[in-house]
Chains A and B, each alone.
Chain A
Amino acid sequence: MELFVSEGNPHCLKVLAALEVTGVQCSVQYVNHEERVVPFLSRPTLPALILPGGLHLFSSNAICRYLFEVSGQESSELCNQWLEWEATDLQPALLQALYMAVLQGKGSEVSTVLQGPLNFLDQSLSKGGTPYLTGEAVSVADVVLWAALYPVLSDSSQALGEHKSVNGWFDRVASVHSCLSAAQKVLQGKGLQGMKSYMQRQPAPQSSQGRNTQPCNCNPA
């Protein structure tokens, strides 16, 4: 089993955190952003995990889920739901926020972009009444969401605004030592600037309006 990651790539932070938290044995290779590890994908995609059977995993959430499962923690339906929400709702907003903060110097507008997803997360945490997203212990959902939010939230405390429950949860997950050590590996202690070369290679995020008005398959013939 071999894991390929690149420095400054926020998705790699997720898988490295999951690897450290689960303690799964796996060799890790640092490559550059342009390396095409997954042979069937036209665009370079990292992180990538080559499974024992030779299949490739190229989704960071699927990799994290797999690492938790082989360490004996199968993900619950609530975990699945958080991972899906992270991919479909949080990621588009985060990409836009990172683009603004890292490349456009508009760090002050980050909190506006993240308002919606952070409200949702905050409400769910305060309604759930448990220290972590899916219960009393850290699950794959906590690790994935924490790692996704870490670059933005650790850089600017104002991005969090009045989200007290998110704040408490974020600090609780950060106190799991292995999470912070993964963040150090990916960002090299440079904060958001550590992601600059990665962000420069990403297509400019579409505005959320454009995404909703022209999805290509909302129109069955």
Chain B
Amino acid sequence: MALRELSSLEKYLGLKKPNKYSTQGDKKVPVLQNNNGPPLLGLATIACHLVKEAKRPELLGDTAESRAVVQQWLEYRVTKLDSCAKEDIKIILKDLNLYLQDKVYLAGNRFTVADTLMYYGIHPLIVDLAVQEKEHCVGCSEQLSVSPRVRDQSEAPISPTTTTVDAAGQRE
């Protein structure tokens, strides 16, 4: 999953040369093999590295405040979403819905890499929800599936209906 996301992110960022990834441990933490130094570990860390590599620093936030908010949601993704219990899904979506009520994107008015990674993390949760429940989370589902806000920008969103091939060339 994580490797597929990173490869989608690379495409969105327009990085020409695909990076080499592997995973580590039971939790399959992504590892980026780096020619110029030691390997980088962790989905959020690698995503930020790719954004810098693509010279798109604005995707990490354009002020100290928005950079902090971006990092916060990246952390939220890898701690809360990636290990959430079934009964927590509704609370998470409710909280996000309330948060997004008066915002266009997670860090305010500008699209950031936090939107991409949160999108990938929430997508499977939203897909599981019954249609009726989705209506209670207008803000989230709007951001995630209906509105072109995120979809257009994250060029290759992971669709639940198509099989994609991850960076390692494995079908998931």
Contacts and interface: CB of A to CB of B under 8 A. Distances in A.
> Do A and B come together as binding partners?
yes
Nearest to A208: B26
B137 interface: no
Given A81-B45, A214-B85, A57 B68 contact: yes
B79 interface: yes
B83 A215 contact: yes
Interface in B4-32: 26-27, 29
Interface stretch (A40-48, A105-113, A150-158): A40-48
Interface stretch (A9-17, A59-67, A166-174): A59-67
12 contacts: A42-B91, A42-B94, A51-B68, A51-B69, A53-B65, A59-B71, A69-B67, A211-B83, A216-B89, A217-B1, A218-B1, A221-B161
Interface stretch (A84-92, A181-189, A192-200): A84-92
A91 B83 CA distance: 13
A214 B110 CA distance: 34
Chain A: number of interface residues, binned into ranges: 35 or more
Contacts, number: 117
Contact of A85 (B41, B83, B94, B123): B41
A59 B81 CA distance: 14
Interface string B112-134: 00000000010111011000000
A184 B40 CA distance: 35
B1 A52 contact: no
A8 B121 CA distance: 32
B82 interface: yes
B40 A52 contact: no
Contact of B99 (A40, A66, A77, A80): A40
Interface string A15-55: 00000000000000000000000011111000000011101
A63 B45 contact: no
Interface of A: 39-43, 51-53, 55, 57-59, 61-63, 65-66, 69-70, 77, 80-81, 83-85, 87-88, 91-92, 206, 211-212, 214-221
B1 A69 contact: no
A91 B99 CA distance: 25
A218 B128 CA distance: 12
B124 A220 contact: yes
A176 to B, nearest CB: 23
A80 B81 CA distance: 19
A65 B75 CA distance: 12
A206 B45 CA distance: 25
